[in-house]
Amino acid sequence: MLDKMRKMGFVLDISVYGVLLEELCKNKEIEKAMQLYEDMNDSGICPNIKILIYDLISCVRDERDMIRIVEDRYESLDLKARLILYISMLKGLDNNGSTDKAYHLLCASTGLESAGDFNEGSLFFMKELACPDTVSFKLVVDGLCWADRLETALGLFRDMDRISCKCSVLLYNNLIDSLSRSGRFDECFELLNEVKQSEFQPTHYTYNSIFGCLCEQGDDKGTLAMVREMSVHGHQPWIKYYTLFMKKLCKDGRAAKASNFLADMVQEGFLPDVVGYSVNL
């Protein structure tokens, strides 16, 4: 249809290209999408921010394509659009499994030292960016956590203070969750105390991240201590975690401890559901 429109002399505007690019990207027909993008450039039609970010950058898998898209249009964008494009590129690298490159790119564009190098030719468009924001750091920290690069994730989290980049409760929560899953409870509680002393407050997710991992390990003292702290701060222990904990106690021949744990929960103001009681039957 596009070829027919061209042959018949129709003037193709950005709306026509936009519809086609959106559908090609949805269908993961990346090669055709990039060819159409090149056709737009050759026709002198500038893609808008939606096409650049939400269609192209979000779906391309080849790093060279990402760089080419950014290189073509970066200079014509205002600072806000540049930051959005920058965040999209970090997200694209993470989605492609290139977490290291996202990390090195973030470090290079903020003046932080990293343990590796990023192709300097890919960084030209970062030079005028004053400082990536909290969202940029969250994307990379989350990617490092998923890749089980906890030391690097913690280091980058601490570096945020050095460049005066504001933290967020989501960043704290995701780090606490990842550390809990790795059994690094000392660092979890250190971060939990930091949240309490910061402008933020721990959420039900913060507490349950630690509570769930203590339950999985069958730590009866740690689990009860966390239940008591959650009670003080008005947060409910999640059913799936304390049910798992009681099942584990019963399986290990500690049914009496499971029963005592139920009683302790009631004493702290939490009424377990029927599943919790049935575990002990």
Asked if residue 274 has pLDDT above 60, the reply is no
* Mean pLDDT for the stretch of residues 186-211: 92
Query: Which two three-digit tokens encode residue 56?
Result: 């192209």
Q: How many domains does the chain fold into?
A: 1
Are the C-beta atoms of 126 and 86 separated by less than 8 Å?
A: yes
Nearest 10 degrees: Cα torsion 163, 168, 172, 177:
-130
Are the C-beta atoms of 111 and 122 separated by less than 8 Å?
A: no
Model confidence at 192, pLDDT cuts 50, 70, 90, reads very high
* This prediction's pTM: 0.76
* Mean pLDDT for the stretch of residues 181-208: 91
The residue that leads in pLDDT, 238 or 24, is: 238
The pLDDT value given to residue 204? 93
The pLDDT value given to residue 133? 83
Asked if residue 113 has pLDDT above 50, the reply is yes
* Mean pLDDT for the stretch of residues 169-198: 92
- Give residue-wise pLDDT tens across range 200-239: 889 999 999 999 999 888 888 898 899 999 999 989 889 8
Question: What whole-number distance in Å separates Cα of residue 243 and Cα of residue 76?
Answer: 56
Share of the chain above pLDDT 90, in %: 22
- Give residue-wise pLDDT tens across range 130-167: 467 888 899 999 999 999 999 999 999 998 888 888 88
Query: Which two three-digit tokens encode residue 45?
Result: 């039609």
Question: What whole-number distance in Å separates Cα of residue 203 and Cα of residue 21?
Answer: 41
Question: What whole-number distance in Å separates Cα of residue 158 and Cα of residue 155?
Answer: 5
- The pLDDT mean for the chain works out to 81
* Dihedral sign from CA coordinates of 150, 139, 157, 118: positive
Its domain, for residue 223, covers 167-281
The residue that leads in pLDDT, 255 or 75, is: 255
Question: What whole-number distance in Å separates Cα of residue 160 and Cα of residue 151?
Answer: 15
- Taking alpha carbons only, the member of 26, 22, 20, 25 closest to residue 3 is 20
Query: Which two three-digit tokens encode residue 230?
Result: 């959650």
In a domain, 45, yes or no: no
* Dihedral sign from CA coordinates of 216, 218, 222, 226: positive
State how far the alpha carbon of 279 is from the alpha carbons of 116, 185, 265, in Å.
51, 27, 15
In a domain, 231, yes or no: yes
Asked if residue 77 has pLDDT above 50, the reply is yes
Question: What whole-number distance in Å separates Cα of residue 16 and Cα of residue 3?
Answer: 12
In a domain, 210, yes or no: yes
CATH for 263: 1.25.40.10
Residue type at position 184? R
